[in-house]
Chain A
């Protein structure tokens, strides 16, 4: 009986020491919320808003162009939820007009990352870009709201166009942004009058009527992609299509590169005929403007931010 009692005590002590050991090896969690708060604009404390910043570990990152030597690039994307509701987002990253793979923290490599964010909290994503080759990399971090949400009416389809972004330029073993540009897409038909700023998915039979819910069935879905520029400066940009947040072809191209003069609009007639794996699918087009624009500590912001079209629900 005495031996049993001693064994129990020894076992208990071993369990306890194990617990303490585990605790001592756990890395101390750094709370950077005070730093993030110190970089908020006053409106963030007064209105229902989201905030987005680029950080290097716990420090605010002022720079936007980086000369890199290695194949990877790591920075923190910090989203602040200053609303009274929990939110959900998906992070996508584009190198020029191509969706790229990345890693968040020690997670697996993927081309998208979904996460929830509690009300009045920050979400700090330590993002590592991988396999960066020599040359100029025009990197756009994109956050889309409510990735699981699909529209059942045109208002929701338009609401799901909200997009938050950060742009950085990476130069690897290259001194300057190259002069060479991708081939221009030449098949866009210029509209007589501009209505659209950014990208918009319309029903083919009724121009400018919102495409928001379509049944695929056995046939393909005809639609029109309008894209326009209401600003006073000419812009160049990529157009990228996403099916369930995976880059997919626009017509026969992986992405389109085109320009728009001031107050100009173009359109393309297309058919959606991709094979669908899911019962419910989301389809959206992103416009990523001025990919060759220099950005820096002094010139942090682009003349025109990236934008998303209305989101469309496609039923199998």
Chain B
């Protein structure tokens, strides 16, 4: 029985690997892909940074993934949403980039799709237990693969404690170089100097 299970697993893995490896680099999708959102699934987890993360996966009517967004803090209660809050209240901001990959049905076959995420968050203190709204938070994220821009995304939020941008692999290819993600983060708050910095991440 166990041998049968192992054999079945090996066959499945080799089949999936073949699908990924035999597909031509940069091949165009011939079928028209339905991008209309039919349903959304949500998943919440604690990431390696210790932050609560909410992942939303958007499906079309055929059950294929249209897009994935990864957001931190959307459901956290901000300490203050008062626009008049000035710099003099204490708050703590965290920025970071990530590159992740996931198996998903893409152009009729299970394939790996690479995502780049940029996160900008503000909290009341360094323990990062409670979110804090400021006037405007912006994050711009770029996903680079094989020296090309696969996608860029930007999130600019007013009176928010977070901004998350998610860029995803657009063309089906086997990456021959590492995948590179870069995010620029901007924090604007009334009565304060604006803050600029960038974060990077790579995979492969």
Contacts and interface: CB of A to CB of B under 8 A. Distances in A.
Contacts of B204: none
B193 A52 contact: yes
Contact of B194 (A154, A164, A200, A206): A164
A44 interface: yes
Interface string B176-197: 0000101010111111111111
B140 A48 contact: no
Interface residues of B, number: 42
Contact of B192 (A40, A158, A162, A202): A40
Interface in A29-72: 36, 39-44, 46-53, 60, 62
B187 A41 contact: yes
Given A42-B90, A159-B182, A50 B197 contact: yes
A25 B138 CA distance: 48
Contacts, number: 119
The contact size tier of chain A is: 35 or more
Contact of A43 (B92, B152, B153, B198): B92
Given A197-B153, A209-B148, A305-B138, A51 B186 contact: no
Name the residue in A42, A195, A230 with the highest tally of chain B Cβ atoms < 10 Å from its Cβ.
A42
Nearest to B194: A52
Contact of B142 (A50, A80, A158, A193): A158
Interface stretch (A90-98, A182-190, A241-249, A296-304): A296-304
Interface of B is mostly: strand
B197 A62 contact: no
7 contacts: A46-B92, A50-B195, A51-B196, A154-B144, A158-B142, A197-B154, A208-B149
Given A41-B134, A210-B149, 13 more contacts: A39-B191, A40-B193, A43-B93, A47-B95, A49-B197, A52-B194, A53-B192, A62-B191, A158-B142, A195-B151, A196-B152, A230-B153, A307-B140
Interface of B: 87, 90-93, 95, 122, 126, 134-136, 138, 140, 142, 144, 147-154, 156, 165, 170, 180, 182, 184, 186-198
